[in-house]
Amino acid sequence: MIDKKADLAGPGISTYEEVEECLPDDYKALLGPKERMKALFKTKNFIEENLCRELNLFMVQVPLIVSKESGINDYLDRDGSRTPIDFSCGLGLEKRIEAQVVQAATKWKRMALKQFGCQAGEGICTDMRAVRKDYFLDHDHGVYVDQWDWERVITEDMRKLEFLRDIVEKIWGVIYEAGQMVKKDFPGLDVDKYPEIPKKLDFFHAEEILERYPDLPRKEREIKMLQEVSPAIFIIGIGYVLEDGYPHEMRAADYDDWITPTIKKHGRQFHGINGDILVWNPVTRRRHELTSMGIRVTKETLPLQLKEAGQEHFLQLPYHQAILKDEIPLSIGGGIGQSRTFMYLLRTAHIGEVTVSVWPNVLTEISKRKNIHVLE
């Protein structure tokens, strides 16, 4: 039996020998740096405009820094392995502000819905920037993170899988159409070497995927699904403990709702109204996560999830109190990785070809040997 516990968090590559092995040997960028940047920003504008139209969102400013005591920062998982950057600020203050660089704007967005006066069916979208210092740095994970973090007000009757699926399909439609647009406007991307971006996104619950591949850890299950079943999938129910005694992934306990019972199948109860879009990247020949999203926790489900995670002390923080006291609206939201999406649509082998960040020398040398030239 493969160790499933070790695979519950992290990118799935932990050595640079593995990185070198998985990167293609026959790579040649389809667009040069100048054309790639033109294509990237055209794609960025297209996705922002159409995402806002399809989900009824409007663009807002988003924080890079939050106070530590607010509890607003995103901890990304439950095991405490990905911690934010802490620092003190405020020259001349008797007691300096204890601040953190955001890892994602997940919690801030939900509170911001009230700040911006959003009504049911209306929401916000952000051009979010963050720092995640505890990633293993490889060809599709960087310290610097950019996302379209979005959030939309919902009503109680929308807290079901059918609504989640409808929103996911709209998001995938925008990504697919962005791919068609940029390929038309930049003919260098229209090559036979790589398959077409799939128009159809297939949905599977994490329990169904486990049932197909019961002896594999989750990343291997995801790879098998993308290779053997569909090159573009949405995995439902990430965070709740599955039939084998492990969650599909250690999803944080205080934003997505992964504990709510949804459907019964094969005599078993499935849980969770959240999930991820994953695609098969034909350039890197690896699984590629584009977005995590979900219907958010309520005053009923938040304490249950925090208890499962052993984090009940979080309930005293302002963000969590706001949920318990119904001071912020019910919502659905997610984060779409910008550079990940550009990497996928523009057919690059390294995220450093579409964003500027810091990379270890060992990765830079591997990239050069593979004819991959990252931005500096």
**pLDDT tens for each residue of 278-289:** 999 999 988 999
Q: What is the Cα–Cα distance from 10 to 308, expressed in whole angstroms?
A: 20
pLDDT above 70 (res 80): no
Residue labelled with tokens 């926790």: 297
- What does the alpha-carbon distance between residue 258 and residue 247 come to, in Å, rounded to a whole number? 10
- Asked which of 75-79, 214-218, 224-228, 247-251 is least confident by mean pLDDT, the reply is 75-79
Q: What are phi and psi of 51, to 5 degrees?
A: -65, -45
What type of residue sits at position 54? Answer: E
Name which of 78-92, 217-231, 305-319, 356-370 the model is least confident about: 78-92
pLDDT at 345 over 80: yes
pLDDT greater at residue 267 or residue 48: 48
Confidence at residue 9, expressed as pLDDT on a 0 to 100 scale: 56
Give Cα separations from 284 to 24, 276, 280, 288 (angstroms).
6, 19, 9, 9
DSSP 244-299: TSSBSS-B-SSSB---SEEEEETTEEEE-SEEEEEEEETTTTEEEEEEEEEEBP-T
pLDDT at residue 250 in the model: 86
Provide the pLDDT for residue 45: 98
Please report the pLDDT score of residue 1 as a whole number. 47
Q: Would you state the structure tokens that stand for residue 207, as one six-digit string?
A: 């329990």
Q: Which of 7-21, 49-63, 192-206, 318-332 has the lowest mean pLDDT?
A: 7-21
Closest CA to 171 of 334, 58, 342: 334
Please state, in angstroms and rounded to a whole number, the distance separating the CA atoms of residues 276 and 159: 17
Q: What is the pLDDT of residue 267?
A: 85
Residue 95 pLDDT exceeds 50:
yes
Q: Which residue has the tokens 């009940």?
A: 312
Q: pTM, whole model, 2 decimals? A: 0.93
Average pLDDT over residues 104-126: 94
Higher pLDDT, 7 or 295: 295
Question: What are the tens digits of pLDDT across the range 131-186?
Answer: 999 888 999 999 999 999 999 999 999 999 999 999 999 999 999 999 999 999 99
Query: In this model, does residue 351 exceed pLDDT 60?
Result: yes
Over range 319-342, report the average pLDDT: 96
DSSP state of 121: T
pLDDT for 69: 87
Sequence-distant (6+) residues with CB within 8 A of 49 are none
Cβ distance 296 to 163 under 8 Å? Answer: no
Mean pLDDT, the chain, as a whole number? 93
Count CB neighbours of 35 within 10 A: 15
d(CA 332, CA 153) in angstroms, rounded, equals: 7
Residue 2 pLDDT grade (very low, low, confident, very high; cuts 50, 70, 90): low
Q: Above pLDDT 70, what percent of the chain? A: 95
Please, is 221 exposed, middle or buried when counting C-beta atoms within 10 Å of its C-beta (0-12, 13-18, 19+)? buried
| pLDDT value of residue 4 | 65
Please check the confidence at residue 111 and state whether its pLDDT lies above 50: yes
DSSP 8-state symbol, 80: S
**Where residue 265 falls among pLDDT bands split at 50, 70, 90?**
confident
d(CA 339, CA 350): 10
Please give the pLDDT value at position 79: 64
Lowest mean pLDDT of 5-14, 113-122, 130-139, 198-207, name the range: 5-14
Residue 38 — very low, low, confident or very high, per pLDDT cuts 50/70/90?
very high
The pLDDT score that the predictor gives to residue 339 is 97
Distance in Å from the first CA to the final CA of the chain? 43
Cβ contacts of 365 within 8 Å, gap of 6 or more: none
d(CA 363, CA 16): 7
What residues contact 94, with CB distance under 8 A and at least 6 apart?
A: none
Residue 361 confidence (pLDDT): 95
- Compute the distance between CA of residue 15 and CA of residue 24 in angstroms, rounded to an integer: 16
Query: 170 and 145 in contact (C-beta within 8 Å)?
Result: no
- Which residues are part of the catalytic machinery? 74, 132, 147, 276, 289, 292
